[in-house]
Amino acid sequence: MTRMEMAASSVLWLVFVSCSSPTGPTSSTTLDRFVQALRQQGLTVSLAGQISPSSNGFFSVPANQVRVNDSQLNAFVYQSADAAAAEAALISKDGQPSPTARVTWVSTPRFYRQDAMIVLYVGCSAEIVEALQKTVGPAIAVGPTPCSLGR
């Protein structure tokens, strides 16, 4: 192989590698942006680990536990918006996460979806609900458990 052929081959390889690499945000970037957006609204936010898909029992990706003030959210980050949309489509309007999982919630469940992320908040804090609506949009499902959104 001549130098010219080797150089051309190297350039083609670089083009192939850069074109085949994912260009979307990584799951950690998505989660970091979500946490930062909540903090910008004056909330105290920290990450508290993950729950595996086999333990959460209804979504195919781990639940990232996000502590917000004195409450907890679960953020499920997918490889693509399509993957998140497919699982979000399984959530019933009454807040059941899938046709095969029936959950008895301790408070009102609210599911939100934005791009490649589904967020689950089970609680009644008006401050957190408002922050989630500003950050990820309106809830896609809200369970029937009565909840007064007081502060």
pLDDT of residue 148: 65
Q: How far is CA 91 from the centre of its chain?
A: 14
Count Cβ atoms below 10 Å from residue 63 Cβ, excluding itself. Answer: 22
> How buried is 144 (Cβ within 10 angstroms: 0-12 exposed, 13-18 middle, 19+ buried)?
exposed
Query: pLDDT (tens digit, 9 = 90+) per residue, 59-92?
Result: 999 999 999 999 999 999 999 999 999 999 999 9
Q: What distances in angstroms separate CA 39 from CA 11, 42, 123, 124, one per listed residue? A: 43, 5, 19, 19
Query: pLDDT (tens digit, 9 = 90+) per residue, 131-147?
Result: 999 999 999 999 986 77
Task: Indicate if the pLDDT at residue 25 is higher than 60.
Answer: no
Distance CA 55, CA 53 (A): 5
Give mean pLDDT, residues 7-28.
38
Sign of the C-alpha dihedral computed for residues 84, 36, 62 and 24 taken in this order: positive
Give the residue carrying structure tokens 């949009």.
137
Q: What is the mean pLDDT of the chain?
A: 82
pTM of the model: 0.79
Give mean pLDDT, residues 46-56.
93
